[in-house]
């Protein structure tokens, strides 16, 4: 397992309030974290996206909450913003100190997006990947999809606006690296597709 500790917040409340305030329940911390949106796709929370892997109290330090996050990919530019927002939400929910650990293994996959997250993507106008569409085997990378291919060999990606399967790939990269850009041939609207991986 590849793990790196990103940052430990030394945020402390006033001494008087920390002595009298009970530590928050884990369920309350999960609820606070679940409200943190993904900065690149703000309709999704970090729990919808499946990148928030764990929240627990440190067994050696009763004031420290340990948070495990797996970014969508190791170079994701939103990682620092997500970590800062998680830290802020957990401190606001009563955590005295927060340690955020980034786990790169197992690698995140679009299979971790919740059913509710897929629904939110479609309602937002982004075609979600179907569950189980990533290639099996974490070590196998299919680079054949990186080249532009003709309409006959393209995957059928339904339009999130009208539901038509008459769509075409415009670009392998949409508004972010994790999305491709498509156009519906029926309603003529462009849309992003959250690429499975």
> CA 171 from chain center: how many Å?
22
Q: What is the predicted pLDDT for the residue at 109? A: 94
Q: What is the predicted pLDDT for the residue at 122? A: 95
pLDDT tens digits for 179-194?
999 999 999 999 999 9
Give the 3-state secondary structure of residue 161. Answer: coil
Give the tokens for residue 130: 């179907």
- Phi, psi (rounded to 5 degrees) for 100: -105, 125
Query: Does residue 153 register a pLDDT over 50?
Result: no
Query: Does residue 177 register a pLDDT over 70?
Result: yes
- pTM, 2 dp: 0.77
Closest C-alpha to 51, from 31, 32, 65, 37 = 37
Average pLDDT (159-165) is: 95
Closest C-alpha to 109, from 87, 86, 141 = 141
Which range scores top for mean pLDDT: 7-16, 44-53, 166-175? 44-53
Query: Does residue 110 register a pLDDT over 90?
Result: yes
Q: Where are the domains of the chain?
A: 3-103, 126-194
Torsion over CA: 87, 90, 95, 99 (sign): negative
pLDDT tens digits for 21-38?
789 999 999 999 999 999
**What does the alpha-carbon distance between residue 185 and residue 167 come to, in Å, rounded to a whole number?**
5
- Mean pLDDT across the chain: 83
Average pLDDT (112-132) is: 93
Burial zone of 67 (CB within 10 Å; 0-12 exposed, 13-18 middle, 19+ buried) = buried
Q: Which CATH superfamily is domain 3-103 in?
A: Fe-S cluster assembly (FSCA) (3.30.300.130)
**What does the alpha-carbon distance between residue 126 and residue 192 come to, in Å, rounded to a whole number?**
5
Query: Does residue 15 register a pLDDT over 50?
Result: no
**What does the alpha-carbon distance between residue 149 and residue 122 come to, in Å, rounded to a whole number?**
24
Task: With beta carbons less than 8 A apart as the criterion, state whether 72 and 178 touch.
Answer: yes
Query: Does residue 4 register a pLDDT over 60?
Result: no
Closest C-alpha to 157, from 181, 136, 138, 135 = 181
Task: With beta carbons less than 8 A apart as the criterion, state whether 36 and 45 touch.
Answer: yes
């Amino acid at each position: 397992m590849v793990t790196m500790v990103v940052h430990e917040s030394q945020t402390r409340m006033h001494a008087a309030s920390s002595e009298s305030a009970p530590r928050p329940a884990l369920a309350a911390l999960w609820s606070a974290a679940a409200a943190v949106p993904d900065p690149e796709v703000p309709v999704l929370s970090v729990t919808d996206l499946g990148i928030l892997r764990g929240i627990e109290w440190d067994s050696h330090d009763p004031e420290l909450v340990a948070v495990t996050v797996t970014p969508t990919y190791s170079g994701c530019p939103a990682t620092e913003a997500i970590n800062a927002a998680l830290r802020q939400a957990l401190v606001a929910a009563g955590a005295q100190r927060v340690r955020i650990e980034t786990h790169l293994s197992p690698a995140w996959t679009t299979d971790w997006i919740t059913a509710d997250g897929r629904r939110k993507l479609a309602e937002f106008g982004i075609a979600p990947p179907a569950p189980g569409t990533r290639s099996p085997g974490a070590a196998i990378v299919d680079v054949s999809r990186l080249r532009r291919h003709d309409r006959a060999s393209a995957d059928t990606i339904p339009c999130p606006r009208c539901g038509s399967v008459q769509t075409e790939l415009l670009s392998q990269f949409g508004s972010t690296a994790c999305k491709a850009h498509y156009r519906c041939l029926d309603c003529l609207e462009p849309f992003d597709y959250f690429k499975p991986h």
